Structure 1
Amino acid sequence: MPQMAPISWLTLYFIFILTLFLFLAQNYFTKIDSLEKNSKSIYKSKLNWKW
């Protein structure tokens, strides 16, 4: 089996790192959006109970 050239390993490393960062950024920003949507809906559905 032929060995990979160092430039191929470097390219492969950068592709994996870029994929990891894109995945983490996507999860981070979707979590912020979902928290903002949930917080708005929580305040709208808040009930004052009068005993």
Structure 2
Amino acid sequence: MELWRLVGVCHVALALAAVLVDVTAAVVVAETDTAVLVGVNAIVVVAPS
């Protein structure tokens, strides 16, 4: 029984770690996307002229 309990704890820890990684990645991607969008908008505005 102890082994299964340990496996359960490991699964919970891995799930929490995955959520943290997802949240961190989402924040990084959101900030990066904003920078990229601003850059693309600047290029689009400058290109015609």
Common fold by TM > 0.5: yes
Structure-2 separation of matches of 1:25 and 1:14: 17
Structure-2 separation of matches of 1:21 and 1:32: 16
Structure-1 separation of matches of 2:40 and 2:14: 39
- Root-mean-square deviation (Å): 1.8
TM-score (norm 2): 0.69
TM-score (norm 1): 0.68
Q: Which one has the bigger helix percentage?
A: 2
Corresponding residue number in structure 2 for 1:42: 40
- What is the percent sequence identity of the aligned residues? 7
Structure-1 separation of matches of 2:36 and 2:7: 43
Of 5, 12, 20 in structure 1, the residue corresponding to residue 18 of structure 2 is: 20
Q: Which runs of 5+ in 2 are unaligned?
A: none
Structure-2 separation of matches of 1:14 and 1:30: 24
Which structure has the larger Rg over C-alpha atoms? Answer: 1
C-alpha displacement of 1:15: 0.7
